[in-house]
Amino acid sequence: MKLRMSARGVKLSAELNEFVSRRVHFRLGRFAERIRSVSIALADVNGPRGGLDKLCDVRVNAGLRNQVIVRERQANVHAAVAFAVERAERALRRHLQIASRTDRARRGRTVARIQRIGDPPRIAVV
């Protein structure tokens, strides 16, 4: 699992980098063999004005048809990361469950074929 981080308007200190890395590995570590990459983008939307202005975008590429994309906005960058990664975990779990259900349904299909004209129909399981 590759972890990419970028920041715009937020100082990406060693402490923040460590926090994000720990949070991602704690929440998404159980899916590490399925996840190709995780991208985290941090931004300060309002600048020095304050308010709910810290933005965290999480993109998880697990090789599925669609990426899991979560955006969280909080007053604190640590809270934004924590909430966004938690929501990404729930969404990824849901996507993987749906993917496994459709795979099982595809594998379990039976196909009926008629072997010869005039013979009684026989069902062949494929």
Residue 26 sits at φ, ψ, to 5 deg, of -70, -45
**Which tokens belong to 118?**
């005039």
User: Which domains can be identified in the chain, with CATH numbers?
Assistant: 2-107 (3.30.160.100)
pLDDT of residue 113: 53
The tens digit of pLDDT for each residue in 42-87 reads: 999 887 776 778 999 999 999 888 899 999 999 999 999 999 999 9
The tens digit of pLDDT for each residue in 19-30 reads: 999 999 999 999
pLDDT of residue 29: 93
State the Cα–Cα distance between residues 29 and 57, nearest whole angstrom.
18
Return the SS3 of 8. strand
| H or E element, residue 18 | helix 14-28
Q: Any idea what DSSP says for residue 122?
A: B
pTM metric for this prediction:
0.77
Neighbours of 107 (CB within 10 A): 7
